[in-house]
């Protein structure tokens, strides 16, 4: 299992929670530089996929500083957004203050691998760059499946590894040099960003992740590859007979 501190006896969940609480103040700035501002475009795409199915009741899991939830905010749509790192949520709440009053997002402290919601509650569940940080990936996906209505939609934005030689070279330089460097100079925490690069490289992306989604109760799974294959957007539906 890839953890921020491989030798620490603390669980991955504890380490991840404390890491995001520490890097919260600089998370958005580094994200912007690290993705060359492409993150906005990816989040917009997630929102578009969700609204193609006219979702009215949405859960954003591992919301962090809230950008996907904020992107999805619409009149007459109820969005709940959860994360287990309080400092990330505080920033999300501050940013969402500027939304129109009828586009309120309910930010809550909760564990994605043990959600406090009843079964079959949501039309859509989204998660951006969250699942690879779960201690138990399958458990988190099963929880997302449980709280979705039958036929409800999951949309997951997650890192991938590009396949062409040229983009592989660019990816290597980006993840091994630029990202830890930005982490060091902006967040003063190169270890956190080394972990993010390492976890991205080791995440079972593409068809491997598609199979995991299928095995955790999703069907009609589509993979959209974005920006030379550095991220994928996975969408799928909760199996009706699940």
DSSP sequence for the chain: ---SSTT-SS-HHHHHHHHHHHHHHHHHHHHHHHTTTHHHHHHHHHHHHHHHTT-SEEEEET-TT-HHHHHH--TT-EEEEEES-HHHHHHHHHHHTTS-GGG-EEEEE--TTS--SPTT-EEEEEEES-GGG-SSHHHHHHHHHHHEEEEEEEEEEEE----SHHHHHHHHHIIIIIHHHHHHHHSS-HHHHHHHHHHHHHS--THHHHHHHHHTTEEEEEEEEEGGGTEEEEEEEE-TT-
Task: Report if residue 85 touches ligand SAM, rule: CB under 6 A.
Answer: yes
From 20, 122, 209, 234, residue interacting with ligand SAM (rule: CB under 6 A): 20
Our CB check for ligand SAM shows the closer of 46 and 213 to be 46
Our CB check for ligand SAM shows the closer of 18 and 239 to be 18
Our CB check for ligand SAM shows the closer of 113 and 123 to be 113
156/85 Cα distance (integer angstroms): 19
Task: Report if residue 13 touches ligand SAM, rule: CB under 6 A.
Answer: yes
Task: Report if residue 189 touches ligand SAM, rule: CB under 6 A.
Answer: no
Binding-site residue total for ligand SAM (CB under 6 A)? 20
**Segment interacting with ligand SAM, rule: CB under 6 A, options 122-130, 158-166, 167-175, 229-237:** 122-130
Task: Report if residue 128 touches ligand SAM, rule: CB under 6 A.
Answer: yes
From 34, 59, 113, 195, residue interacting with ligand SAM (rule: CB under 6 A): 113
**Segment interacting with ligand SAM, rule: CB under 6 A, options 93-101, 105-113, 166-174, 204-212:** 105-113
Task: Report if residue 130 touches ligand SAM, rule: CB under 6 A.
Answer: yes
Q: Mask 56-75, x = binds ligand SAM (CB under 6 A)?
A: ------xxx--xx-------
Task: Report if residue 158 touches ligand SAM, rule: CB under 6 A.
Answer: no
From 88, 141, 182, 237, residue interacting with ligand SAM (rule: CB under 6 A): 88
93/241 Cα distance (integer angstroms): 37
**Segment interacting with ligand SAM, rule: CB under 6 A, options 78-86, 143-151, 203-211, 218-226:** 78-86
Neighbouring residues of 109: CB distance < 8 A, sequence distance ≥ 6: 82, 83, 84, 86, 89
Our CB check for ligand SAM shows the closer of 62 and 161 to be 62
CB of 165 to ligand SAM, least distance (A): 28
29/17 Cα distance (integer angstroms): 19
């Amino acid at each position: 299992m890839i953890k921020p501190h491989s030798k620490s006896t603390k669980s991955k969940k504890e380490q991840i929670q404390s890491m995001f609480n520490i890097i919260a103040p600089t998370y958005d700035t580094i994200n912007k530089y690290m993705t060359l501002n492409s993150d906005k475009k990816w989040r917009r795409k997630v929102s578009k996929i969700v609204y193609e199915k006219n979702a009215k009741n949405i859960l954003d899991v591992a919301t962090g500083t809230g950008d996907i939830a904020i992107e999805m905010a619409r009149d007459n749509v109820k969005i709940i957004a959860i994360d287990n790192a309080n400092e990330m949520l505080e920033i999300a709440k501050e940013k969402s203050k500027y939304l129109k009053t009828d586009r309120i997002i309910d930010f809550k402290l909760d564990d994605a691998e043990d959600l406090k919601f009843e079964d079959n509650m949501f039309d859509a569940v989204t998660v951006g760059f969250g699942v690879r940080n779960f201690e138990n990936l399958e458990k988190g996906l099963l929880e997302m499946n449980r709280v979705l209505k039958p036929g409800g939609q999951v949309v997951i934005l997650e890192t991938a590894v590009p396949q062409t030689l040229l983009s592989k070279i660019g990816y290597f330089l980006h993840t091994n040099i630029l990202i830890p460097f930005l982490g060091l100079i902006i967040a003063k925490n190169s270890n956190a960003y080394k972990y993010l690069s390492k976890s991205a490289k080791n995440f079972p992306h593409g068809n491997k992740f598609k199979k995991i989604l299928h095995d955790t109760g999703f069907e009609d799974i589509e993979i959209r590859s974005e920006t030379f294959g550095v991220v994928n957007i996975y969408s799928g539906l909760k199996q009706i007979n699940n």
